[in-house]
């Protein structure tokens, strides 16, 4: 569970840096990473792709969180 939380924070932070250039805060990064992981997992599944390691899951979460952040920024 601790590894999942740390991974979520890291994924959200990386996604925020890639899209906005700045972090959003620990809790927002965690939320982005967790929701991004779910969205990214679903998205990758639609293309028949899967992640089998921690690094792969981190990439999926970063991609999902980045897409969510880009969509959020377009709606603002």
pTM: 0.87
20: which 2 tokens?
Answer: 């906005």
Query: Whats the size of the chain, residue-wise?
Result: 76
* C-alpha span between 67 and 71 (Å, rounded): 6
Q: Give per-residue pLDDT as tens, 2-49.
A: 777 888 888 888 998 898 777 677 788 888 888 988 999 899 999 999
* C-alpha span between 46 and 30 (Å, rounded): 24
Q: Are 61 and 7 in contact (CB under 8 A)?
A: yes
pLDDT band at 62 (very low <50, low <70, confident <90, very high): very high
Other CB atoms within a 10 A radius of the CB of residue 16 amount to 22
Q: What's the number of domains the chain is made of?
A: 1
Q: Which domain holds residue 40?
A: 2-75
């Amino acid at each position: 569970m601790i590894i999942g939380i740390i991974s979520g924070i890291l994924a959200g932070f990386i996604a925020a840096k890639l899209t906005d250039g700045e972090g959003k805060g620990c809790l927002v990064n965690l939320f982005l990473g967790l929701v991004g992981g779910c969205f990214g997992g679903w998205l990758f599944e639609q293309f028949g792709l899967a992640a089998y390691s921690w690094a792969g899951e981190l990439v999926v979460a970063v991609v999902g969180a980045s897409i969510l952040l880009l969509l959020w920024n377009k709606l603002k």
